Structure 1
Amino acid sequence: MSFKNQCIALIIAIFASSCVSPKIYKELKDNNSTLKSENAELFSQLEGTSGNAQEVNVQQLNAKIDKLTSARTKAEMDLAGVKISYDRLKDSYDALAENSSENLTENLERNRKLLAQLEEKERLLNQKEQALEAKEKRLQIAQLELEASSQRVAELESIIAAKDAKMSALKDAISAALSNFEGNGLTVEQRDGKVYVSMENKLLFASGSWDVNERGREAVVALGKVLGDNKEIAVLIEGHTDNVPYGEKGLIKNNWDLSTKRATAIVNILTENNNIPKDNLTAAGRGEYAPISDNTTTEGRAKNRRIEVILTPKLDEISKLLNEM
């Protein structure tokens, strides 16, 4: 094989063995075919010419070979540049593919975490909504209970106001009934929702006695007439003494015993009035242990020796409402 053919084959081999794109490879192959044709044509011309002509043709061929050599060199450089660009592009693609895979994995993991966080937030939100609904239900129940309690309080206040008004009317009625006795050891007061009728012993009893005198009986009977018209009133009769010991012997043992007998004597007079329910009446002896004045003076001891009639409205309705609250 001639040098020219070797050059052509070398060019073809270099282009054929290089990693180029199909388009570039086709262009190189086409150029090779063109060069082969030109080479065949040159040899044909060379064989058909004389010696001088051959020399001329050799010079022309050499010039063409130089041109082809230059073209080959340029083609090799272009091919090397294309290969470098290809390798860089392939490296960039591989790096991009690897990076994309890593990013995809990271994105998937991040999305998984975000989804888990979202599900947890949704679960907590559902819990809060359920707690809020339960709280609202409790609030509604409490509101209903409050409204019911408010209604019962209003009813209670109404009943208490009615009781107070009734006790005030009772106090006025008793004061009117006992007007002839007030100032003679008898007082009528209203406090703490109750009416207190206090009668000193000098109005009712002789010293050391538990028998009610005539004047005292008149006062008790007058009081009983008012109580008979107010059957919803609880009546507590308390007997009180001073702190001077009871000195007589016989049925009375001490001041406590004396105070109890005097309270019972008042109850006995009140029971003569059939309009007064017997279960409204209670007798109690307090002896010397609930003084209202100083026992060191004569006046103080006289005030302490007394009968107190404590009138209290029956609180059944109030107790019922309080139990319902």
Structure 2
Amino acid sequence: MKVSIFPLVLIAGTTMFSCVSQKKYDELSNRFNSVYSENQGCQTELAVAKSKLANFENSNNQFENTVSSERAQVRELQKALSNCIEGGNKNVAELVKEINESNKYIKHLVNTKNKSDSLNMVLTNNLTRSLSREETKDVDVQVLKGVVYISLSDNMLYKSGSYEISPAAGETLSKIAKIINDYRDYDVLIEGNTDNVPINKTNIRNNWDLSALRASSVVQALQNQYGVDGKRMTAGGRGEYNPLTSNASEDGRSKNRRTQIIILPKLDQFMELIGQAPKD
């Protein structure tokens, strides 16, 4: 059962008021208000930290499933080795080499994943620490399947019903650009999303246009104003077809209207990791 502390504080304050001077009472009241405000701030930061931890744990669980699958394949190879020894139909030395290579590749994947997770955690922590408490209301940072997603609300980014960047978004974009420039081995995908309400503008045909134009505006701001290399960035629009939640309410539509900055390993490096086992 939750008990509100305010009536108790009020009663205690009333009792104390008759025993202490007005000055002392005011001093104690101010100290209480200050401590209570700090506690509320700590609760907010704790909730944000728990959310990030849950995301990291989810990513780790998905990777563990992948490792379990690879290990199951190793067990199958070991079973095949036993069958071949019994039947004499296969070269034992070749099977041993195949098993060793599989184990080496698993270790390579684990080490690479751990390195990637560490870099993503540092990147995310650096970004969230640079944001003010007010900015965190409009910026959501998550790591999903080894990829960093920075989701920006359209209320903060754009003028109403427009794809022009709002002056208020400049400071936040500059902080994101600094992180992007610090991690030059990552590519950046800017992805615009809308709700399902049709746009009514003479120069914008539909929500596809609006989402793509908004993504393009962010790309150009990052390049022209904050020095992000244009070769690293891609702009794309998903219209109303990638919602986070239902569009039935204003709150849901507001969540769906967003622009995501997705920071991910370069594609050529990723394909090289998948296609090649580590060398001796």
TM-score by length of 2: 0.64
Which letter does structure 2 place at the counterpart of 1:210? Y
Choose from 170, 191, 214 the match for 2:144: 191
Tell me which residue corresponds to 2:124: 171
- TM superposition shift of 1:252: 0.9
Deviation at residue 324 of structure 1 after TM alignment? 3.0
More helix by share: 1
Measured in 2, the distance between the counterparts of 1:286 and 1:298 equals: 20
Number of aligned residue pairs: 194
Change in CA separation of 1:266 and 1:318 when aligned onto 2, cut-off 3 Å: closer
1:82-231 alignment, distance < 5 Å: 135=88, 138-231=91-184
Q: Which has the higher contact order (CA 8 A, sep 6+)?
A: 2
- Contact map agreement 2:208 2:237 (CA 8 A) in 1: yes
Select the structure of larger CA radius of gyration: 1
Shift of 1:314: 2.8
**Deviation for aligned residue 1:315:** 5.5
**Closer, same or farther in 2 for the Cα pair 1:201/1:156, shift >3 Å?**
same
The residue aligned with 2:228 is 276
Looking at structure 2, the residues matched to 318 and 236 of structure 1 have their Cα atoms a distance apart, in angstroms, of 15
Correspondence for 2:195 among 242, 246, 255: 242
Structure 1 residues 309-324: aligned runs within 5 Å: 309-314=261-266, 316-324=268-276
**RMSD of aligned Cα (Å):** 2.3
Q: Is the 8 A contact 1:229 1:275 kept in 2?
A: no
Inter-CA distance 199–171: structure 2 relative to 1 (3 Å threshold) = same
Mapped pair 1:254 → 2:203: no
- Is the partner of 2:234 in helix, strand or coil? strand
Specify whether residues 132 and 236 from structure 1 end up closer, same or farther in structure 2 by C-alpha distance, changes over 3 A only. closer
Distance 1:213 1:293 in 2: 25
Q: Are 1:295 and 2:247 matched, yes or no?
A: yes
- What is residue 266 of structure 1 aligned with on the other side? 218
Q: Following TM superposition, by how much is the alpha carbon of 1:184 offset from its aligned partner in structure 2, in angstroms?
A: 2.9
Name the residue aligned to 1:91. Answer: none
Distance 1:168 1:137, change over 3 A: same
Tell me the amino acid that sits aligned with residue 206 of structure 2: N
> Deviation at 1:294?
1.6
Distance 1:175 1:315 in 2: 26
Q: What residue identity is the alignment partner of 2:247?
A: N
Structure 2 counterpart of 1:221, which letter?
Answer: S
Question: Which residues of structure 2 form unaligned runs of 5+?
Answer: 1-83
Q: Secondary structure at the match of 2:260?
A: strand
Find the residue that maps to 1:150 and give its secondary structure. helix
Paired amino acid for 2:211: S
Contact in 1 for aligned 2:174/2:226 (Cα 8 Å): no
Give the superposition deviation at 1:317: 4.5
Q: Which runs of 4+ in 1 moved over 6 A?
A: 131-134
| Identity score, percent | 33
CA separation of 1:266/1:134 partners in 2, compared to 1, >3 Å: closer, same or farther?
same
Aligned partners of 1:274 and 1:202: how far apart in 2?
A: 21
Unaligned runs of 5+ in 1: 1-130
State whether residues 235 and 280 of structure 1, in contact with CA within 8 Å, keep that contact through their aligned partners in structure 2. Answer: yes
- Distance, in Å, in 2 between the alignment partners of 1:263 and 1:172 is 24
Code of the residue aligned with 2:102 in structure 1: it is S
Distance 2:110 2:250 in 1: 44
